[in-house]
Amino acid sequence: MLYFSKLKITLIALFTLFMVMVSSSNFLDLDLDKQKKIKLGLDLQGGSYLLLELDNEPVIKQKLQSKLLEIKDYFKKNKIKILSLKLDDKLIKLKVSKDDVEKISEIFSDKESTINPYYFQYKAHQLDVKINGDVFNLELSKYGIILIKNASLDQAIEIVRKRVDEVGTNEPNILKRGNDRILLELPGLDNPDRIKSLLGKTADLAFRLESESSNESFGTEKLKLIETGEELLLSKRVIISGDNLVDASPRMDSLNNQTVVSFTLDRVGSKRFAQATKRNIGTRLAIVLDGQIISAPVIRDVIAGGSGQISGGFTFQSATDLALLLRSGALPAPLNIIEERTVGPDLGQDSINAGILSLIIGFLLVIGFMTFKYRIFGIIANFTLIINLILLISILTLLEATLTLPGIAGIILTVGMAVDANVLIFERIKEETSKEKNNLIAFDNGYSKSKITILDANITTIIAAIILFIFGSGPVKGFSITLCVGILTTLFSVFFIARLLTSIYVKINKHKEIIIK
Amino acid sequence: MKKDYRFNQYYKSLNVFSIALILLSLIFLIFKGLNYGVDFKGGTLIEIRVETEKPDIEILRSSFNKLNLGKISIKNFGSDNDFVVKFKRDKLNDPEFIENLQRNLSQELTQDFSFRRVENVGPKVSSELLKAGVTAICLSLMAMLIYIWIRFEWQFSVGAIAALFHDVIITLGIFSALSLEINLSIVAAVLTIVGYSMNDTVVIYDRVRENLKKYSDIKIFDLTNLSINETLSRTIITSSTTLLALLSIFLFGGEILKGFSLAMILGVILGTYSSIFIANPLLVFFKVSQKTVLKEDN
């Protein structure tokens, strides 16, 4: 165990030197583009962490509504008679004549079917079909729902990204979580209120006409005007929606000194807008945002240029926000904030200071204790500990890991526990030297006999750390990473660095009596 | 320096003591329960710093009470100027909530203040976090059981797991008795305690097994005592350095890590104690002998 070839010694030395360089890049500002550094977690650098959940109910309802129409069309085209077809909460109930049941059931279970698509990757249909006499009960299958959720989540992430980018925070981190959640990390942002209010709006914009009677073919509904509270009866027909907008910006209207949002429409939108304004001069045109009317001006003339403006008693800030929302597009469904953690920058700095102070003190206490207890071997253990820390920092750097406050605690804990392996070896050597006169053999035995114990003992901690990594969230994950890496570097430094140093010491003092206190 | 302390003569009395502690902890856990923080209970936590000398907590409390937030709790947090305010909130969706709160509070409170930290955890997330925490602790116990089962004989794995349960239950019992807050970092601490306690037990067990193979004439009662003595220096030194490191976190690591480091300190003390006085008596109880370990090798 004590023999090291020259090659091995060189390799260990080179590796350690390399790691020293890697870890030093955290403290030196070398101005390299690809310089890797440990990132500070939000709890240390300050910032906001938001977990958003997409409320997919309306999306699923809408999907079912359109499925209903699809079925109607499909049956009409294939000349199959429908006795009744209705949507009951999330269940489509389709009643047909008894003779058609078999044929229809074949259509629904056909893997090539367009009406009930088959997803080969999940080996499942979009709809679960249950036949009850002459009634088909159709329900979205588990995977049908997952696909809808995934699609709307992807769409939502895009919109969230656009909105966050428009606000211009530095290096936001936007991640998908499951199939209906978005995790948003905003470093350096100590007041997330503006982002929260921007994300809290679906920004579903529609231009709709006021209706005179409630029996219009598209249906009507009553909506409130935000400013006055006045209720207007509006047609459900959407003339142009947010999708038709190509640009929007806040502007001062010089005529009446109001802040307005001016917008530009795409070609389809311009055409439709021109037609609608031409036909409905004198009618009120309601601009509806998320189910509320922002304003409802009377159409006085044809608007043909493909641009216009929305007024609604905006302040400059609210006009800016609305323009931003319109530019970034509508969310497919409302987003709810289900978790928020914000740390101010001064608390983050305090935490860094406290973390570093306790690391230094903990380190000095352990080093002092080991030197006092083991003298020369204590110094070997301490030197090993320093190398261990350097390795730990460099591996965290190479992984570009995120350092959190519990992560710093993990490093300190590593300092405390890392000496364990050396202690196990030293104690073992102590026993061996009492039996064996030859120093080399005694040391060799000490190392080989304690090897299994050291591995056993450290594997248990690694198991705990891995489980914590899987189930932990946020800062706690940072703790499990440092703990895990810390154990690995401990094993390396004990079995290579400390063993090398011990072997050198023993070879020099081959014939002297070595006493480990 | 040969050590020969008679640990084994305290096996019985300390086991009674441990069982009493476990029962007491269970009574606390069942009847008083744990004091869950916002991570697991949901709600809002605000860390607030008031920029005056010796701010009065009562003024702060009455200011907050005027804001109609329902039942609130205010506690001093570390320094004189820092406080933590906690309350329940039905909906997290009002984006202007914190801004409004800050504005309303500044009307009530004449002193300058700032919000240093805001945490909002919705009911769905908090119940998920709790579930994840409990799953993690159970899984880690199970993983330890399996690991030790593979490495040792079943008597050892029962002994080691009993020691683990002892440490986890009493640590949580103390947290319950003292109404200390249970948050995500405490779960991390408990998992680390599980790892540490196991580590400590494994070292002694390794030695017991080695000695079992070496000496056929020593009874398990004395053999465990011998093994404890042989590994005693290591046990003391490792727990000392770990405790020194933890003490440094507890004293200088800031208020946020207080609960975590306290749980760990308790866990390390309990873990060291249990690997001597719980794990070993169980081997005696199971009448482990040389046969037990040699059987495996064939």
**Over pLDDT 90: what percentage of chain A?**
22
The closest CB to that of A197, out of B96, B185, B196, belongs to B96
Q: Look up residue B35 and give its DSSP letter.
A: E
Q: Please tell me the distance in Å from B45's CA to the nearest CA on chain A.
A: 9
Q: Are residues A280 and A425 in the same domain?
A: no
Confidence of residue B297 (pLDDT cuts 50, 70, 90): low
Indicate the angle between helix axes B11-27 and B154-177, nearest 10 degrees. 50
Residue A176 has pLDDT above 60, yes or no: yes
Q: In this predicted structure, what is the pLDDT of residue A33?
A: 55
Q: In this predicted structure, what is the pLDDT of residue B1?
A: 45
Q: In this predicted structure, what is the pLDDT of residue A52?
A: 93
pLDDT tens readout for residues B43-69: 999 999 988 878 888 888 888 888 778
Q: Are residues A73 and A108 in the same domain?
A: yes
pLDDT tens readout for residues A331-371: 888 888 899 999 998 899 999 999 999 999 999 999 999 99
Given a contact cutoff of 8 angstroms between Cβ atoms, the answer to whether B7 and B277 are in contact is yes
Selection from A113, A272, A280 nearest residue A210 by Cα: A280
For A408, the token pair is 């710093």
The DSSP bridge partners found for residue B238 are none
Cβ <8 Å between B185 and A53 = no
Residue range(s) defining the domain that contains residue A281: 206-311
Is A316 domain-assigned? no
Q: Are residues A443 and A386 in the same domain?
A: yes
Residue A26 has pLDDT above 80, yes or no: no
Q: Are residues A355 and A501 in the same domain?
A: yes
Helix (H) or strand (E) holding A40: strand A39-40
Cβ <8 Å between B249 and A457 = no
For A368, the token pair is 């002092």
Q: Are residues A256 and A399 in the same domain?
A: no
pLDDT tens readout for residues A211-252: 877 777 777 888 888 878 888 888 888 888 888 888 888 988
Q: In this predicted structure, what is the pLDDT of residue A29?
A: 61
B22 touches chain A (CB under 8 A): no
Mean pLDDT, residues B176-190: 92
Q: Look up residue A50 and give its amino acid.
A: L
Q: Are residues A295 and A432 in the same domain?
A: no
Lowest mean pLDDT among A81-90, B222-231, B271-280: A81-90
Is A305 domain-assigned? yes
Q: Are residues A99 and A219 in the same domain?
A: no
Q: Which long-range contacts (CB under 8 A, 24 or more apart) does A247-253 make?
A: A247/A327, A248/A322, A248/A323, A248/A326, A248/A327, A249/A323, A249/A327, A250/A314, A250/A316, A250/A319, A250/A320, A250/A322, A250/A323, A251/A309, A251/A319, A253/A309, A253/A311
B184 touches chain A (CB under 8 A): yes
Domain count along chain A: 3
B236 touches chain A (CB under 8 A): no
Cα separation, A348 vs A475, in Å, equals 13
B260 touches chain A (CB under 8 A): yes
H-type helices in A472-515, by residue range?
A: 475-492, 499-508
Out of A119, A143, A167, pick the residue that ends a domain: A143
Cα separation, B183 vs A186, in Å, equals 23
Q: Please tell me the distance in Å from B193's CA to the nearest CA on chain A.
A: 9
Cα separation, B71 vs B85, in Å, equals 11
Q: Which residues from A are below 8 Å from B238, CB to CB?
A: 417, 419-420, 423
Q: Please tell me the distance in Å from B117's CA to the nearest CA on chain A.
A: 4
The closest CB to that of A460, out of B125, B202, B207, belongs to B202
Out of A128, A143, A158, pick the residue that ends a domain: A143
Q: Are residues A383 and A293 in the same domain?
A: no
Residue A379 has pLDDT above 80, yes or no: yes
Q: Which fold has domain B7-37+125-297?
A: Multidrug efflux transporter AcrB transmembrane fold (1.20.1640)
A193 touches chain B (CB under 8 A): yes
Confidence of residue B80 (pLDDT cuts 50, 70, 90): confident
Mean pLDDT, residues B184-191: 90
Q: Are residues A411 and A480 in the same domain?
A: yes
Cβ <8 Å between B120 and A464 = no
Q: Are residues A357 and A456 in the same domain?
A: yes
Cα separation, A128 vs A473, in Å, equals 36
Lowest mean pLDDT among A188-192, A419-423, B5-9: A188-192
Q: In this predicted structure, what is the pLDDT of residue B249?
A: 94
Cβ <8 Å between A193 and B203 = no
CATH number for A300? 3.30.1360.200
Q: Are residues A215 and A83 in the same domain?
A: no
Q: Any idea where the domains of chain B sit in the sequence?
A: 7-37+125-297, 43-121
Residue B89 has pLDDT above 80, yes or no: no
B181 touches chain A (CB under 8 A): no
A219 touches chain B (CB under 8 A): no
Q: Please tell me the distance in Å from B71's CA to the nearest CA on chain A.
A: 20
Lowest mean pLDDT among A29-38, A117-126, B118-127: A29-38
Residue A1 has pLDDT above 70, yes or no: no
A344 touches chain B (CB under 8 A): yes
For B84, the token pair is 């933590």
Mean pLDDT, residues A105-124: 85
Given a contact cutoff of 8 angstroms between Cβ atoms, the answer to whether B191 and B224 are in contact is no
Helix (H) or strand (E) holding B36: strand B35-36
Q: In this predicted structure, what is the pLDDT of residue B298?
A: 45
Confidence of residue B220 (pLDDT cuts 50, 70, 90): very high
Cβ neighbours around B19 below 10 Å, total: 12
Q: Are residues A405 and A468 in the same domain?
A: yes
Q: In this predicted structure, what is the pLDDT of residue B7?
A: 92
pLDDT tens readout for residues A79-105: 888 888 888 888 888 888 888 888 888
B window 99-128, beta carbon within 8 A of A: 99, 114-122, 124-125
Q: Please tell me the distance in Å from B2's CA to the nearest CA on chain A.
A: 10
Q: Please tell me the distance in Å from A365's CA to the nearest CA on chain B.
A: 6
Is A320 domain-assigned? no
Q: In this predicted structure, what is the pLDDT of residue B31?
A: 96
Mean pLDDT, residues A281-298: 88
Size of interface A-B (CB pairs under 8 A): 233
Q: In this predicted structure, what is the pLDDT of residue A107?
A: 86
Q: Which fold has domain B43-121?
A: Alpha-Beta Plaits (3.30.70)
Q: In this predicted structure, what is the pLDDT of residue A307?
A: 85
Is A197 domain-assigned? no
3-state SS class at A476: helix
Confidence of residue A28 (pLDDT cuts 50, 70, 90): low
pLDDT tens readout for residues A428-473: 888 888 887 788 888 888 888 889 889 988 888 899 899 989 988 7
Residue A422 has pLDDT above 80, yes or no: yes
Cβ neighbours around B213 below 10 Å, total: 12
Is A33 domain-assigned? yes
Cβ <8 Å between B254 and A408 = no
**Over pLDDT 70: what percentage of chain A?**
97
Is A481 domain-assigned? yes
A332 touches chain B (CB under 8 A): no
Is A424 domain-assigned? yes
Alpha-carbon separation of residue A201 from A45, A165, A234, B95 (angstroms): 29, 16, 22, 10
Whole-prediction pTM: 0.86
Q: Which residues from A are below 8 Å from B251, CB to CB?
A: 358, 361
Confidence of residue A329 (pLDDT cuts 50, 70, 90): confident
Cβ <8 Å between A53 and B95 = no
The DSSP bridge partners found for residue A383 are none
For B85, the token pair is 């305010």
The residue among A312 and B203 whose pLDDT is bigger is B203
B187 touches chain A (CB under 8 A): yes
CATH number for A38? 1.20.1640.10
> Strand A292-295 and strand A245-253: pairing?
unpaired
Out of A143, A169, A187, pick the residue that ends a domain: A143
Is A460 domain-assigned? yes
Q: In this predicted structure, what is the pLDDT of residue A17?
A: 85
Cβ <8 Å between B116 and A347 = yes
Given a contact cutoff of 8 angstroms between Cβ atoms, the answer to whether A418 and A482 are in contact is no
pLDDT mean across residues, chain A: 87
Cβ <8 Å between B120 and A358 = no
Lowest mean pLDDT among A303-307, A375-379, B162-166: A303-307
Q: In this predicted structure, what is the pLDDT of residue B91?
A: 66
